[in-house]
Structure 1
Amino acid sequence: MVSEEMVSRDLSFPAGMRGDHALIIPFTTSGHFIPLLDLTRHLVLRGLTVTVVATSDTLPLLSPLISDHPSSVKALVLPLCLEATSGWNDLTSCTRTAIRDLGTLHGPIRDWIAGHHSPPSVIISDMFSGWAHRLAQEVGIKSILFSPSGAMALSVIFSLWRDMPRPPPADMEDTAFAFPEIPNQPEYPWWQLSGLFRAHREGDPVSEFIKEAFLANIQSWGVVVNSFSELEGAYIDHLMKMVGHGRVWAVGPLLPVEPIVSSGQRGGISSILVEDLVSWLDSCGDRTVLYVCFGSQARLAEEQTAALASALEKSGVNFVWVVREDQPTKVALESFKDRVAGRGLVIRGWAPQLPILNHPAVDAFLTHCGWNSIMEALVAGVPMLAWPMGADQFVNATLIADQLKVARRVSEGASAIPDSDKLARAIREFINWEDCPERVRADVMRRAAADTMGHGGSSSENFDKMVKHARNKSYIL
């Protein structure tokens, strides 16, 4: 929870600073915080001054941006203690608690805006901070929702909270729920829908707060999505229909500018020197390495770790495997490193994902289908082996595996234990396959991603339009 006392970090901007002032309200997990920081960096490069709400936990992620742009970026540090998340078993509960606790920042931020000599003209907030729309209404400024998920996933999320489908009986979690209004009419069993939505209990204060926050997201003055029209054009158009206006801007892929990409410091301190990692990859042949990473939240159980280790060993391919520091690995990895020495690199903790994916040795990516990972893989032109586990990942897997066909499914679910022989065969068949259709399509998306962010590209133009709207203090544009 938060007290009314706020800790400032030199929040005064220089007199005469050109450009309007935007207030950025992120969510605390890295998967949400990092892309919103990427968005913020591009706002600054387009001449805006920004204040970013931070806590003691997220301030280190923000510090490099402040150091690079000390006159344009300030931190509004609020005393807020959040529970740590520790894997899929309690991730939904922890996320619900964090959303509730962040909501207590409403009053302090409102007071800060009222007392600021140069108040913001727009609030840009993460989807888990939907209360920021009500805050913006109270202080008379515009609210823009930032979605770290893609347009297809956001369409499903909006539909769930708008329509509130009732859960099936406890023994019928495989019951399919269809979304006929969404392009391509996707459907998913109950257990694959948003954990936040499935945890909703009518009358429960936290549940009702989260519901109202998501409904407020739909009512936001504008929506910005980390995607691009060549990737999700039909779903971007659908979002415009859902929100009832055209202020939906696809501005992705949101990635940092140099030198952050090459340094590998985006989102945290790497557990391995980038130079050492690149040197190891250099020793491998081109397109011979499988990159394995399941993001910052998913934690494999011991049996899953053992099955994956066995599959990697049996496959015979080169690999880089990123393992969470708190992942139970004692039994599975005790002698594993010795047996795969020379062709396998295991990294414990945070890894520099962008340098890895963009290295010519990397041929494929075994991923949990988090949206940031998907976007980074597409920018690098790397095809994927999909193992969705929760959140928006099942929707993302539908997009990349079934529709775009830049990925192939190999497992499904947070508790799934893949057959190591089948997984090894899938890996072996995928790596260094000259005519791999997923690789051909991934390269097409790589070129589309580069074009859309270039001069005259749709995302570049959308970003400029979004900034123009953010600068304009009028609601009628």
Structure 2
Amino acid sequence: MKSAMLHVALFPFMAKGHMIPLLQLVKLIHIHKPEAKFTIFTTPANEPFIVSSLTSLPPQLINFICLCFSPTSQIIAGVESTDQLPSMSLFTPFLYATETLQPQFETALRSLQEQVVPITCLISDGFLHWTVESASKFNIPRLSFNGMNNYSYVLYTIMVGGRLFSKVESEEELITVPGLPWVQVTRNHFDSPWNEQEPQGSIVDYTAKCLMATSNSYGLLVNSFDELESKYLDFWNLNFQPKAWCIGPLCLAHKPKLDDCDKPNWVDWLDKKWAERRKVLYVAFGTQAEISNEQLKEIMIGLENSRIDFLWALRIKPNQEEIVVGLEERVQGRGLIMRGWVDQKMILEHEGIRGHLTHCGWNSTTESICASVPVLAMPMLAEQHLNAKMVVEELKVGLRVETCNGSTKGFVKSEELKRVIFEFMGKEHGEMVRENVEELSKVAKKSIQEGGSSWINLESLLTDLQMRK
């Protein structure tokens, strides 16, 4: 006889920004259902990171299944996550390469369904469109995980899905969003090729598959909370399928602990700054943005000339190393440069951090909000320009770095960066956005606690899935 115990299978997309929130969701589900079992699908190169991220959970509850990621004509052997790609021009070929995992995935599903505790549901990244077909073969409900917020996802669906840019010539012409008359966007708020009059290409074809797969899924999981964007959540659920469930902020399920034997060097540095009552700006632009040599130089000069203390989690291409030669010496004592992987949530939660200069990826944005750290938005790609718009205009928890020509997208000069950092870290504007983010942080924390909106949503969803069995 099959067990009614909850067994959740998860398949994250192979990118740090996509894996981390799904691993945080595992921890959150465990809080709700301590007896639940988990099966997590990944590839050999990603397994160590995933396993190490879940050491706080009882090992007998988690099963890891590695699927061999076969090289293709464009993706070489060993490259199994987007941060390993030599260029983001290979992002689309990488997406298509994930489709080769489907036969192995289905073989594993077949075996799992023959066990005493079969899979209750599959939670897979929206990019892994083919998993919905596989899940349906074994009568497993699939939940699509959306790394975007409701605001950006709704605007993309309305504007791109409705082909509303087809007759818009100017990239900066303001367009009122149908159904949301208080929102105006431009073509430049959207990434290429979606902002073109006739979007086409292999990425468009792939995304169409993803959207169709999501619409055929049991539900849509969103790393957000109802109170943050209720108007956009309601709009989605009234006009589109499947039902969206806000079950975040997922970063609050992760409670990092500092080991004195393995304490990062930035901890003492920030402790010292805090003791000196020095405000520190945290600077990070994510794992996927490719910053041009010219833009990197302007950012460096702007930070140097701002005279503000800063901690920079620096990720650059190998051929850009010569650009940053001498930077650490020039800012010694005032700036700290961190290389490699850092626990961003832990950094943001340090009391010495007073602002976050960020690309406005959604994970980074929610981590800032939850840590009560105001956002200085410098978006670069994907939906980040819409996230920045939301942060500044809707939530009022940050300021925007302006481009040199005033357009939504464009080049940022060092003088502008210096100016806005001074304004952002100062008393007048800085205190205003800080008060707003502190209030929003309280709501965010309440939402995932027992009785909060996200707690209720996740509890209801898990109960529905268990009853379905």
Question: CA 1:151–1:192 in 2, change beyond 3 Å: closer, same or farther?
Answer: same
Counterpart secondary structure, 2:127: helix
Deviation at 1:167, TM superposition (A): 5.1
Among candidates 10, 19, 43, match of residue 55 of structure 1:
43
- Given that residues 99 and 210 in structure 1 are in contact (C-alpha distance below 8 angstroms), is that contact kept between their aligned partners in structure 2? no
Establish whether residue 438 from structure 1 lines up as the match of residue 433 from structure 2. yes
Establish whether residue 23 from structure 1 lines up as the match of residue 9 from structure 2. yes
In 1, Cα distance between the equivalents of 2:134 and 2:159? 24
Deviation at 1:207, TM superposition (A): 4.2
Establish whether residue 44 from structure 1 lines up as the match of residue 40 from structure 2. no
In 2, Cα distance between the equivalents of 1:89 and 1:369? 23
In 2, Cα distance between the equivalents of 1:294 and 1:258? 21
Counterpart secondary structure, 2:289: coil
- Given that residues 256 and 346 in structure 2 are in contact (C-alpha distance below 8 angstroms), is that contact kept between their aligned partners in structure 1? no
Question: CA 1:114–1:95 in 2, change beyond 3 Å: closer, same or farther?
Answer: same
Question: CA 1:354–1:17 in 2, change beyond 3 Å: closer, same or farther?
Answer: farther
Partner of 1:150: 149
Partner of 1:131: 130
Among candidates 462, 465, 469, match of residue 470 of structure 1:
465
Question: CA 1:376–1:214 in 2, change beyond 3 Å: closer, same or farther?
Answer: same
**Cα deviation 1:270-292 (Å, max 9, x = unaligned):** xx964421100011134600010
- Given that residues 172 and 408 in structure 2 are in contact (C-alpha distance below 8 angstroms), is that contact kept between their aligned partners in structure 1? no
Which range moves more in the overlay, 228-237 or 273-282?
A: 273-282
Matches within 5 A, 1:245-394: 247-255=243-251, 257=253, 260=256, 262=258, 274-285=263-274, 286=277, 288-326=279-317, 328-394=319-385
- Given that residues 130 and 217 in structure 1 are in contact (C-alpha distance below 8 angstroms), is that contact kept between their aligned partners in structure 2? yes
Which range moves more in the overlay, 254-263 or 402-411?
A: 254-263
In 2, Cα distance between the equivalents of 1:161 and 1:426? 32
In 1, Cα distance between the equivalents of 2:155 and 2:284? 25
Matches within 5 A, 1:137-286: 137-159=136-158, 162-165=161-164, 172-174=170-172, 179-182=177-180, 184-189=182-187, 191-195=188-192, 197=194, 207-244=204-241, 247-255=243-251, 257=253, 260=256, 262=258, 274-285=263-274, 286=277
Deviation at 1:17, TM superposition (A): 8.0
What letter matches 1:460 in structure 2? W
Question: CA 1:275–1:108 in 2, change beyond 3 Å: closer, same or farther?
Answer: closer
Unaligned 5+ segments in structure 1 are 1-14, 265-271
Partner of 1:420: 414
In 2, Cα distance between the equivalents of 1:263 and 1:210? 42
Q: What percent identity do the matched residue pairs reach?
A: 27
Deviation at 1:209, TM superposition (A): 3.9
Deviation at 1:135, TM superposition (A): 2.5
**Cα deviation 1:371-411 (Å, max 9, x = unaligned):** 00000000010001101111110111111111111110004
Partner of 1:6: none
| Root-mean-square deviation over aligned CA pairs | 3.1
In 2, Cα distance between the equivalents of 1:320 and 1:419? 20
Q: Calculate the TM-score normalised by the size of structure 2.
A: 0.86
Deviation at 1:333, TM superposition (A): 2.2
Counterpart secondary structure, 2:273: coil
Unaligned 5+ segments in structure 2 are none
Deviation at 1:338, TM superposition (A): 1.5
**Cα deviation 1:390-443 (Å, max 9, x = unaligned):** 111011111111111111000459984322122112112221526621111011
Partner of 1:400: 391
Deviation at 1:321, TM superposition (A): 0.8
In 2, Cα distance between the equivalents of 1:261 and 1:251? 23
- Given that residues 287 and 363 in structure 1 are in contact (C-alpha distance below 8 angstroms), is that contact kept between their aligned partners in structure 2? no
Q: Calculate the TM-score normalised by the size of structure 1.
A: 0.85
Counterpart secondary structure, 1:184: strand
In 2, Cα distance between the equivalents of 1:40 and 1:142? 17
- Given that residues 162 and 215 in structure 1 are in contact (C-alpha distance below 8 angstroms), is that contact kept between their aligned partners in structure 2? no
- Given that residues 83 and 287 in structure 2 are in contact (C-alpha distance below 8 angstroms), is that contact kept between their aligned partners in structure 1? no
What letter matches 2:91 in structure 1? T
In 2, Cα distance between the equivalents of 1:18 and 1:469? 12
**Cα deviation 1:309-364 (Å, max 9, x = unaligned):** 11111111100011115265444422222221101001122222112111111110
Question: CA 1:415–1:89 in 2, change beyond 3 Å: closer, same or farther?
Answer: farther
What letter matches 2:269 in structure 1? W
